Structure 1
């Protein structure tokens, strides 16, 4: 279904909202399992939202960043971990798919609902066979969703006979051909199953690799580097939005501030102020995230923003991440110690947002350093992103 008008978009987001309600029901199970619960995966697959960035010829929507971000926002309201896995899967397909040749593209999108994971964090090495195929070995960390994924996109260095890296790039391989090291632990986003993938002398057909000489890749295009940040951030913004809406119910009910003379929470002017601050912060984060996504979509083929604009967009996303964290603190203050009850969704989402908004691309002090350098022409960026 092409997203050609507002009605199509509204229908898709309504569907995403229904899926959010379904994955919310299994959010506690997702965290306990350390991966998206079976019911959550089934809900995503039945909705078609895992095919968001697949080619239309394969039954997908070829969605741009704006649509990807809006769907991820909705899913994040239901379960940040499941929204994270779905968002990164769609992003991986969007970024890796166009780079591959026809053979690999057909395989990747044979099942447009298949989940894809990716990792560039690790020690992936490859050696080239005489026929051009690659044999890969290594350990790639933080492959979110690998437990439920069919495909893995992995960054590798191709070594010559002396062990010197001469090429670098990505390989696409089936997760079933790899081992999963489930040693990963985290205070938040536990349900993403961001475990390590391990390969020992695995053969990858040349059609499933995209590599080039070391040092000739250059910086990633803005749509790639900023698109990756948006894919990680959007579910977290959605998670914070979901908790703002949940907190609104506190004011319509009969909740009483403990040990006060108030009969209801809504009677407290500062409680109302805390809620309004949290709501404004998260709405601003939503606006900034979607604005950057839409701006990237508006770029023409091969068009790159200026260094200053690119840095400004990154700072907008970093600011959005910080606003979400601050908003969650206000919401916890409104709940008090009860918000940390293990059965209370707020404490789980608080942990998820705290971890997810610290994705490497959202590193606030590095982003700020680079922004000052760009604004003052004071030297090259320190970030490889």
Structure 2
């Protein structure tokens, strides 16, 4: 059964698509695109119901992100990244949830999670945070930001505690600065994934959570939320929105390719509809992209069903999902390469959406969650019955 949010996205898809070029030129989502996303409710899909959300299944979230990305890759990317943050926020202190959503349930939270700053413990159960973080997608339209940080050792020197302890720190817009000229890229330009600078911000401890607690389920148990979606691991939920966006981009690329080919005539005078080689590539690409979609959704749904029935996914089951999630993205983008090479000269014109889909899909693969080495290595160790190094467990 199609979720109401997905239905609204499908209805608004032509409007989202019409704004895609504008977003790329702006280097961020336009106000009109952000308003359309709010109208669909896609960012509230994983938000808890007591704060105006849907507490939806991961399947509904993935399908919604794919639908947005097929219309506009940048908007889909923001929906996938910003849209997963309510899932984590739902597991944190209720005081923080009230601060973020109490007055406006449509308040958005950006990120990045890389630990580029140090949170130094100070008196009154607080931290002082400084640092600079790149890649804060959709940040122009967000009023809060999730930032990764190393916990300081308390010496006041900026030295991290050893062994390192990573915190996720949530800051209001007044405590950080966006660097407007920091997002100049070849793809996903419309995401506005700008740098964030923090200078001596005071952060109460209730606005923080250790990465270990959010990864191993401790934060979820502490939140006492009953919905199965909040009991999934960070290592499979955070990548979900990003990979769903990449697959949606590839679906949009396929649609753009087919639109070009329908009436295209090659230089030989042959109509492409009569060219068996181009049609073979299109059919094969469609199958590959569809397989990526099905495998991603089926895998996360299986983990969700295990939890909903009272079970706990094993490390190997989570590792299988991470392995497959990475492969889904690479498979879908490889399929786009095959059809882009057969789309003809018109596809490379800047006026063609095909070239934008192609660039955006490849930039989507650059995200660290699509680096295949660790995911495949870790999964192979599980298959061999060997111990996985602790550093790899955080990824699942």
**CA apart distance, 1:231:** 1.0
Q: 2:330 aligns with which of 299, 322, 325?
A: 322
Distance 1:11 1:92, change over 3 A: closer
Question: 1:89 & 1:193 partners in 2: Cα distance?
Answer: 12
**CA apart distance, 1:375:** 1.3
Q: Which stretch of structure 1 is more off in the superposition, 267-276 or 167-176?
A: 167-176
**CA apart distance, 1:340:** 1.1
Determine helix, strand or coil for the equivalent of 1:300.
Answer: helix
Question: 2:315 & 2:45 partners in 1: Cα distance?
Answer: 30
TM-score by structure 1 length? 0.89
**1:44 aligned to 2:37?**
yes
Distance 1:372 1:168, change over 3 A: closer
Determine helix, strand or coil for the equivalent of 2:83.
Answer: helix
Deviations 1:299-347 (Å, cap 9, x if unpaired)? Answer: 3278542333222222211221112111211221231232111111111
**1:257 aligned to 2:257?**
no
Question: 1:316 & 1:44 partners in 2: Cα distance?
Answer: 28
Question: 1:69 & 1:377 partners in 2: Cα distance?
Answer: 31
**CA apart distance, 1:171:** 1.7
| Count of residue pairs brought into register by the alignment | 371
What are structure 2's unaligned runs of at least 5 residues? 218-231
- The aligned residue for residue 170 of structure 1 is 168
- The aligned residue for residue 246 of structure 2 is 236
**How well do the aligned residues superpose, as a CA RMSD in angstroms?**
2.2
Determine helix, strand or coil for the equivalent of 2:54.
Answer: coil
Deviations 1:170-209 (Å, cap 9, x if unpaired)? Answer: 2211123211124233221111111221111111233322
Determine helix, strand or coil for the equivalent of 1:299.
Answer: helix
The answer as to whether partners of 1:124 and 1:139 remain within 8 angstroms in 2 is: yes
Determine helix, strand or coil for the equivalent of 2:341.
Answer: helix
Question: 1:105 & 1:68 partners in 2: Cα distance?
Answer: 20
- The aligned residue for residue 116 of structure 1 is 109
- The aligned residue for residue 223 of structure 1 is 233
**CA apart distance, 1:218:** 9.1
Determine helix, strand or coil for the equivalent of 2:344.
Answer: helix
What are structure 1's unaligned runs of at least 5 residues? 1-5
Question: 1:102 & 1:11 partners in 2: Cα distance?
Answer: 27
Deviations 1:131-189 (Å, cap 9, x if unpaired)? Answer: 11222111122111112211101122232332443454222111232111242332211
The answer as to whether partners of 2:89 and 2:97 remain within 8 angstroms in 1 is: no
- The aligned residue for residue 62 of structure 1 is 55
**1:358 aligned to 2:358?**
no
Determine helix, strand or coil for the equivalent of 1:119.
Answer: coil
The answer as to whether partners of 2:110 and 2:146 remain within 8 angstroms in 1 is: yes
Determine helix, strand or coil for the equivalent of 1:152.
Answer: strand
Determine helix, strand or coil for the equivalent of 2:322.
Answer: helix
Q: Which stretch of structure 1 is more off in the superposition, 137-146 or 219-228?
A: 219-228
The answer as to whether partners of 1:50 and 1:114 remain within 8 angstroms in 2 is: no
Q: Which stretch of structure 1 is more off in the superposition, 157-166 or 62-71?
A: 157-166
Q: 2:146 aligns with which of 143, 148, 153?
A: 153
The answer as to whether partners of 1:97 and 1:108 remain within 8 angstroms in 2 is: no
The answer as to whether partners of 1:127 and 1:158 remain within 8 angstroms in 2 is: yes
Question: 1:256 & 1:240 partners in 2: Cα distance?
Answer: 24
- The aligned residue for residue 371 of structure 1 is 379
Question: 1:47 & 1:219 partners in 2: Cα distance?
Answer: 29
Question: 1:103 & 1:118 partners in 2: Cα distance?
Answer: 20
Question: 1:211 & 1:286 partners in 2: Cα distance?
Answer: 32
Determine helix, strand or coil for the equivalent of 1:200.
Answer: strand
Determine helix, strand or coil for the equivalent of 1:124.
Answer: strand
Question: 1:278 & 1:55 partners in 2: Cα distance?
Answer: 37
Question: 2:147 & 2:171 partners in 1: Cα distance?
Answer: 8
- The aligned residue for residue 317 of structure 2 is 309
Distance 1:81 1:247, change over 3 A: same
The answer as to whether partners of 2:256 and 2:353 remain within 8 angstroms in 1 is: no
